[in-house]
Amino acid sequence: MEFVAIIPARYASTRFPAKPLALLGGKPVIIWVCEQASKVFDNVFAATDDSRIFDTVQSGGFNAIMTREDHLSGTDRCYEAYFKCGVKADVVVNIQGDEPFVQPSQLITLRNLFDDPQTDIATLVKPFLPETPFEKIANPNSPKVVVDNRMNALYFSRSVIPYFRGIPQNEWASRHTFYKHIGLYAFRTHVLEAVTKLPQGQLEKAESLEQLRWLSAGFRIKTGLTDVETIGIDTVDDLAAAESFLKKNLI
């Protein structure tokens, strides 16, 4: 199978404008992501709406594609970039442009999920440890996933699911494996085209989780396990945490 990795990177982030260009260890965040993706995939493209990000990626020796400014999601930006990149692939991998520490092991796991011919979309989950405090699991900024016996996603939620009736909440994590969603996606190319044409549904609007649109439309989302905890750069504080992480770890 042929894979192409697309890294959506827009300039106008509400919480952290220009974050793809923020320096981490003296190097732009977007370059970190490109380097990590290139360890697994031969075809890697950053998809941006800003000439400064475009020029930075090109100057770093990687491929960049200019896309429209009005995309509502990274998925839509990936779709445009794929048909501009000139590479014919079976699967398009969407790697967020604010994940400088995404690991090759995670990308390989994502890629291998397409060995199952029934996989339409692939993503990753990370088990919460049994000693995890309930408050951490319940954090609405950390979406959870319920899966079936074949690791296909049944539902994504900002709430804690399932609910354990009659059990003290501080015992839930020791009685069940809760899964945290890791926001890496890969799509068969025809599926990527199809999901960009879907209207928003009530579940997506309620939870503000795009993947619920895909599940509601009947697409099969296969999940893979990872034990890697990465640091996404959403705020200036996240960048400081990433700098601290970098000083203690080699990636």
Domain assignments of the chain as residue spans, ordered by start: 3-248
Residue 250 clears pLDDT 70, i.e. is over it: no
Tokens encoding 205: 């609007």
pLDDT tens sequence across 20-35: 999 999 999 999 999 9
Query: What pLDDT, on a 0 to 100 scale, did the predictor assign at position 231?
Result: 83
Query: What pLDDT, on a 0 to 100 scale, did the predictor assign at position 14?
Result: 73
Residue 94 clears pLDDT 90, i.e. is over it: yes
**48 phi and psi, to 5 degrees?**
-135, 165
Residue 251 clears pLDDT 60, i.e. is over it: no
Residues forming a β-bridge with 157 = 144
Q: Based on C-alpha coordinates, what's the Rg of the chain?
A: 18
**Residue 102 vs residues 29, 55, 86: alpha-carbon distances, Å:** 11, 22, 25
pLDDT tens sequence across 43-92: 999 999 999 999 999 999 999 999 998 888 889 999 999 999 999 999 99
Query: What pLDDT, on a 0 to 100 scale, did the predictor assign at position 122?
Result: 98
Q: Which fold has domain 3-248?
A: Spore Coat Polysaccharide Biosynthesis Protein SpsA; Chain A (3.90.550)
Query: What pLDDT, on a 0 to 100 scale, did the predictor assign at position 13?
Result: 77
Residue 154 clears pLDDT 80, i.e. is over it: yes
